[in-house]
Structure 1
Amino acid sequence: MNDANYLPDIKNRYFLLNECTVTELYYPSRCLLIEKEKEAYIISGNEKKLSYHARQVLKRFVRSIFHEQGFYSLHAAAIVEQGKAFLFPGKTHSGKSTILLNMSAVGFVPMNDDIVFLKKQANGAIQVESVPLLIQVRKNSDTVLMPEVKDFPFGITTIDPYTNTSCAMEAELSCVIFPTIVTETTLIQEIDQNIAKKLLFATFNAHGRIEISEEFAKLFYTLLSADMYSLEMGNNWNFLINWIHNVANKDDKN
């Protein structure tokens, strides 16, 4: 990654101080996030990065609100087709925002590029919800964006003016797809459950450590029973478009 601010061996740290939760963030600039109950303060020496850190604070509060309603957050992008949610979990720089932008430009309904919330329903289905948070587009994304979104501004901005559609608030889960951006041919294949288990657990913990409970275990293993795929995303976006259409039509018939 060609980014002077990115330090791959440095991880964010969390600790408690006088009944406050203090988070030491390192990317995209070093800052302290201090939280106590429903208040939060950001201490940063870089004004240009404050919008990023403010976005992180917003995600934390949204996450706490959903958690109070029995939802668990997943570090994933999500698009909706025919009322079904397609999840793309992954770590930073795995292609979540790129996939969301490209798929939204060709008619799929965007949900979020970074965080979604899951809850197991009484009928066994998994409900997916989110809020239309701002999307972050990195400068190195222009090599994998389709022509329809080539002029999308870099940095943190909103997706709505570029897709002419509102973000979806809720949908029922269709499948889970773990993406990787590659230069070779696009490839989608089913993923081994043991591999999916490790990847899912990591993405559940990406926004803060998940509290393990009976409800979380029920959700986690129900989610594991869903269709799981790995995606090597090259420049053949039509392949992914057609694949999602086919899965959505199959879900609709079922």
Structure 2
Amino acid sequence: MTFETVGDHVARATGRLKAAGIDRPRREARLLLAHSFGKSVEWLVAHDDERIETPAPFENAVRRREAREPLSHILGEREFWSLRFQVNASVLDPRPDSETLVAAVLAQYPEPDTVVKIADLGTGSGCLLLSILSERPGAEGVGVDISESALSIARKNAQRFGLAARANFIQSDWESRLGGTFDIVVSNPPYIPTAAIDDLAPEVARFEPRGALDGGADGLDAYRHIAAVLPRILKPNGLVALEIGQGQDASVTRILRDGGIRIVGLEKDLAGIPRCVLGRL
């Protein structure tokens, strides 16, 4: 049985995570200890000199992070749009960049009681659809994904946030099993060129689902497919909002225009990078 102070536990883990190349090792060490010990980070800070028994899961958690497994996979959740989404290796980690799309859609429909029907293509954790629904109580939506494992996570998140009555999730290869038309279509499709995936951070290249990353040779395969089907699934003057990768704005807007979509906006993320293309049919 090993007893050390909270500060010693954090310091030891910080050194190991720093050596593994983790950007913010002290912050992550505290998060891992808090998770393993069942306490908040604030509690750890306030009890830095308190001696505690080493939590059994802590060593395993540090080892997993040393191997560059995403922190969110170890903790089992990731905050997005002020909601704590359950995540695992079946889904793409929700990222702050994707909040650009949520904000852009809400700005297009500013009335809280707006009644709209939304389709989320490649829903993953459900973060886009559920975040929008959390802000628009009159809206409902369908999230589709080819992965049943991803859909299981999305359904759990809908239950977690009290949105299951307005969010349906179905297994489908893109739009193939969707019925009817929608006021809004959103998607964060795979957009990394195949050859570039192995050069991504280990957390992404080795641990995130390749199907949610691989956009084909030029990273644009999914956009071509979505653009081709939008006239069938989008209502007249309906909105499409697509997340894009860095430097893809010109190519994606061209693909959408060629598919008959009128571009109405190009939203930048907090770093000033074009991140979301908005169009209407």
TM-score by length of 2: 0.30
Structure with max Cα Rg: 2
Instruction: State the structure with bigger RCO (CA 8 A, min sep 6), 1 or 2.
Output: 1
Q: Whose helix fraction is larger, Structure 1's or Structure 2's?
A: 2
**Quick check: which one's strand share is greater?**
1
